[in-house]
Amino acid sequence: MKAFVFPGQGAQYVGMGKDLFEQSPKAKDMFNKANSILKFKITDLMFDGTEDDLKQTGVTQPAIFLHSVILATVMGDDFKPDMVAGHSLGEFSALVANKTLSFEDGLKLVAKRAGAMQKACETEPSVMAAIIGLEDAEVEKICESIREIVVPANYNSPGQLVVSGTVKAIEEAIEKCNEAGAKRALMLKVGGAFHSPLMEPARVELAKAINSTKFSKGICPIYQNVTGQSVTDPEIIKTNLVAQLTSPVRWTQIMQNMIADGANDITEVGPGKVLQGLFKKIDRRIQTQSAAI
């Protein structure tokens, strides 16, 4: 069975989407429509901007979304998934690709999400850290032992967990994880504590936008970040999408459930190859590839 997966923040690179724009009239139309919806020329930043330009949350999130969704659209008849999933931001790309959301509504929600997250980051300085080489339960216990806010944020694969929290709490978590024998524990270059209680103001703002947007029955199930489970009901999808900002990304569980449900051919749609590598850590026999036009 074919699974199509969509990357999240961090997969961006200078020049992303330029080949699509130049080779496909359909892609060109969609990029131009995006410039109009966003009210700035995101294409200039994607194709010819700097790395610093692309690191701004308000640019990064719509840029990765556009690359992924437009690529899926241009694939046409080759885009026939039995199931989809997206990592964090990528969940929005997946929902447009599987026709739960329209392109326009998906882009508007991603822009709203990026702005709301940026505001939440500015309200309280916060950060994330990657912990490699410890059991999930060990990292969870360390987080619970720290007085300030620090929580598991991304269950990326067995032995690879990202935590989110205040700067002080993350520094303490890194120290304790190193003492517990982590292979690596390092702070990430991100602007805030995504997928943690510190994103509550962003969740409230995004909830209003999601609840006033039309969600349709998709062409296939989506495996959602909050539960790791397969979902088709638009109302449940909405509820999970609202909860996503303050809940951990259960990517390990998503991969395990997709494979258990028969996925044996994984296509990553969008920039980068990170998700393919994570699937290989679960089962090396799985066939993986990047989408291409």
Pairwise CA distance, residues 155 & 218, whole Å? 26
How far apart CA 125 and CA 247 sit, in angstroms, is: 19
* Residue 69, CA distances (Å) to 5, 74, 208, 287 in order: 11, 9, 23, 22
Residue ranges of E strands in the chain: 2-6, 83-86, 126-132, 150-157, 160-166, 184-187, 222-223, 230-231, 265-268, 287-290
CB count in 10 Å sphere of residue 150: 31
Task: Determine whether 63 is exposed, middle or buried from the number of CB atoms within 10 Å of its CB (0-12, 13-18, 19+).
Answer: buried
CA distance 197 to 293: 40
DSSP 154-208: EEEETTEEEEEEEHHHHHHHHHHHHHTT-SEEEE-S-SS-TTSGGGHHHHHHHHH
Active site residues: 88, 195
Phi and psi of 128, rounded to 5°?
Answer: -130, 160
Token code pair at residue 40? 């700035």
Q: Which residue's entry shows tokens 């919806």?
A: 37
